[in-house]
Structure formats: structure tokens, C-alpha cells
Structure 1
Amino acid sequence: MVTVKCEYCGKHIDGLPFKCKYCGGLFCVEHHLPENHECPGLKRGEWRVVELPDKYATEYRIRRPEEIKIKPSRPLIRVHWFSPGETRDLLLAVLAVTLAYTSLSALLRPIHFLSVLTGVLLAFLVHELAHRYTAINYGYRARFVASYQGLLLTAISALLPIKIIAPGYVAVYGGDRAKIGAIALAGPLSNIVMSIIGLILASLRILPFFTYFFAVINADFALFNLLPLGILDGYKIFNWNKIVWLTAFMAAIALWLNFRIIIFI
């Protein structure tokens, strides 16, 4: 009867030996693992593909690197469309903000009401979509969610000299402090840019009523949202980077005061 010895310890093996698929040696049960017999064919930290050449084979074969084909992964799919619920929430928010900025005189003048509606649509939607698409660009899920208490407060502020613009928020699923801060900054920053554009166009007498109102409403949006309170954008930006928050806040205050000084003069 032929007996086989373990190639590592030299002990006789009762029964069938273990054959290492890396070096081809025969070993006992104690040393059959590559790391237990100091396998020369095992390279630590290196991933190698082994396969059975055919269904009748009894030994593994190591694939050469040029034989390995890795299927490319699918690109990250970013969802940009709006759900029915999100569309409804956006429409309710636009309606509440439009009501907040609509005066009795504007209701009596269709051209003024149209200017208010268009200005609110642009200022509000660009603000919220800036949040949404910045989050999506980072690979996070995001959607606009209406706050029914916020909708009521926004509508009631039609009776107040200072507007409360808090009809809802963009819910972001995921993200660290820096990413959340950058996403929060996108909305007010878009309003600051649009306010400056509106101010320039108004100074050039290009649709002066609309462009001036457009500049004012964007300044209001920017300043209110940059307040470092509660769930407002300013709180998230302040927690992320105080210098960035202060820079944006000072720009918003400068624009807001500019329009108030013009009004009082």
C-alpha cells in the first residue's frame, strides 16, 4: 500500500491528501491551508482568479491577467424627474409665496399680478432646484417637501411688511456636514446672483417694474434663508463654514438694505 507524506511536516497521511490549488503540493489536514504550509504560490494581498478548465477537471487553473475580463459597472443613475407628490408640494409653495407678495393693487392690475407671479416662480423655483440638483450632483436623493405650517405662515405674511418665506424645504437623504452645507448654500447663492442681475436690468430700464421686483424678492429670499436659525439654510451653512456663511449673509444684507433705502428715499 502506497502512503503519502505531507510535504510540509513529513507526517504520513491516512486517506486522501489535500492538494494545494496554488502550489500543487500534497499536505495533511493540519497544513492543507496555503498559509499553514508557507505556500510559495500564495501572494498575500493579491487577488487571483482560479477556475476549473472544464467540468471534468479535478485541478484548478489560475487565470492569467490578460484572460480576466471585468464587466464595466453601470454609470451612477441620478434621478432628476419629479414625483406627483413633489410636484403638488411645489405648486402649493409657489401659490403661498405668490399670495405673500400680492397686494390689492397688484390684483387690480393684471400686468402687475403677472409680474409678481413670474418673479415668484423664478426666484422660488430656482432657489429650491439649486438645492435639489446640487444634492443630486453629489449622488444623494433629494425632493421638495411642503410644510403645511410653513405654507400658512407664508400666506399670512402677505399682511406683514416683512415676508416669511418658509413654505417647505428640500429633504436630502445622506451627506456629511460639508456636503450638506454646500447644498444649503446653493439656494441663497442663486438668489443673490439673480438679485444682482435684476438690479442691473432695472438700472438699465429693461422691464423696470418686473426686474426691480425680481431683484427685491430674490434679496428677501436670500436674507431670510441665510438666517442661522432652525431648519433654515443659514444654520446648515454656519455649522459647515462660518466664513462662507458670513460672506453670503453680508452680501444678502447689502442687497436687502439697498432696496429698503431706495424705498424710504
Structure 2
Amino acid sequence: MVNFTSHEIRDIIISMLVIGGVFAYVFRGINNGDFISLIPVTLVAVGFGFVFHELAHKFMAVRYGFYAEYRLWIQGLILAIITAALGFVFAAPGAVYIHGQYISKEENGKISIAGPLTNIALAIIFFIIPLFTPPSELLFLICSLGFTINSFIAFFNLLPVSMLDGAKILKWNPLVWLVTIAIAFVMTAYPYFVAYIF
């Protein structure tokens, strides 16, 4: 059973609010400079992507019998705010810390891939929703941001760099890593490719 401590819930809420705020600030141009009213949009489109990514790690770790807890990373939130002020966002709001006697390469790989797969699934959902719903400017904005950002979160985390999910997945199963990062790359590049064509 997955349990959440009060500190963990607090850290998740703070992380979501900061992430929603910094992305709203960076994308404020699409809302005539009003980033405050854009925060609910970015909370849904982006905030959920960051938090669900980490919670996917937690759920998978708990499934394997480990204790896992999401913890806020103050330095990461400060970095997100500073980079947002510079016009882009590099966000690392927190991470899931896993405690156990021994985590095998396979367990570590599967725990790691749960995060990017969650972002890929969210991106696909955001992509599909406008296809089956009445035209709505607000919904299109949420879904376009949700697809773009979640695709990028997945691709970035799949890079084979130490401390990122990709390095652990690559050690576990190179083929799984290659297929997953290829999918994430295509999804990340898709908006730019479409914009270039049209």
C-alpha cells in the first residue's frame, strides 16, 4: 500500500505551485503578459507532469517492497525561479528517495523508466483530447503545452547521463532505453517539425 507523509504532501504541493508559477511566467507572452491567470493552465499541463513523474517512481518502488518518499529540493526550486527570470526553465523541484537493502539492476531500471513512461502517456493523452472534444481555445492551450512539455520531460530524463533515469535504464536494458528515448525524441520534435512544414 502506498502511503504519504504530511511532509511529503506538503512538498508535492509546493513543487507543483512553483513549477506552475515559473512556467506561467515563461509562457506569459501567450496570455498578454498576465502570468497569474495562466498558472491554472500550467498547473494542469506541466505541474502534473513533474509530480506524476516522481510519483510513478514512488509507486513502482513501493511495488518492489521499498520505502520511497518524495522530498522537495530547495536548490532545484531556486534554480527554476532563476532560470525562469532569464526566460527559460530548468526545473528539478524534488526527487523520490528510495530506501532498501539492495536494489537490483532490473528493479532500478524499471523504477527509473516508470517516470518517463508516465510523461509519454500524459503527452499522448494531451495530444488525443483535442481530437475528440469540441473546439476550445483554453483546452487547446492546455493540451498543446501538456503535450510539448511532457514529451520534453520524458526525453530529457531518458538522456544517458548520471543521476538521470536514462543512465539507470540503459544499464538495465539498452534496447528498452533505445526504443523509449526514440519515442520521446520523436514526440519532442513533432511540434517543431509540424511548424517547419506548415
Corresponding position of 1:219: 151
Q: Give the partner amino acid of 1:246.
A: L
Corresponding position of 1:185: 113
Identity of matched residues, %: 32
Query: Does the C-alpha gap of structure 1 residues 84 and 210 become closer, same or farther in structure 2, counting only changes over 3 Å?
Result: same
TM-score by length of 2: 0.83
Corresponding position of 2:4: 82
Q: CA deviation at 1:179?
A: 0.3
Any idea what SS the aligned residue of 2:40 has?
helix
Cα deviation, 1:189-217, whole Å, max 9, x if unaligned, reads: 01011111211223454621111111112
Name structure 1 gaps, 5 residues minimum.
1-77
Q: CA deviation at 1:161?
A: 6.0
Q: CA deviation at 1:82?
A: 1.4
Q: CA deviation at 1:233?
A: 1.1
Provide the C-alpha distance between the structure 2 equivalents of 1:111 and 1:146, rounded to a whole number of angstroms.
25
Query: Does the C-alpha gap of structure 1 residues 92 and 226 become closer, same or farther in structure 2, counting only changes over 3 Å?
Result: same
Total equivalences in the alignment: 187
221-230 or 113-122: bigger deviation: 113-122
TM-score by length of 1: 0.64
CA contact (8 A) 1:127 1:187 kept: yes
CA contact (8 A) 1:86 1:143 kept: yes
Greater share of helix: 2
CA contact (8 A) 1:154 1:165 kept: yes
Cα deviation, 1:157-210, whole Å, max 9, x if unaligned, reads: 324565323112111112211101100100100101111121122345462111
How large is the RMSD of aligned CA atoms in angstroms? 2.2
Q: CA deviation at 1:223?
A: 1.3
Q: CA deviation at 1:109?
A: 6.3
Corresponding position of 1:125: 51
For 1:17-166, list aligned pairs within 5 A.
78=1, 80-103=2-25, 104-105=28-29, 106=31, 108=34, 112-159=38-85, 163-166=89-92
Q: Which has the higher contact order (CA 8 A, sep 6+)?
A: 2
Name structure 2 gaps, 5 residues minimum.
none
CA contact (8 A) 1:98 1:120 kept: yes
Corresponding position of 1:16: none
Query: Does the C-alpha gap of structure 1 residues 232 and 160 become closer, same or farther in structure 2, counting only changes over 3 Å?
Result: farther
Provide the C-alpha distance between the structure 2 equivalents of 1:92 and 1:185, rounded to a whole number of angstroms.
24
CA contact (8 A) 2:24 2:35 kept: no
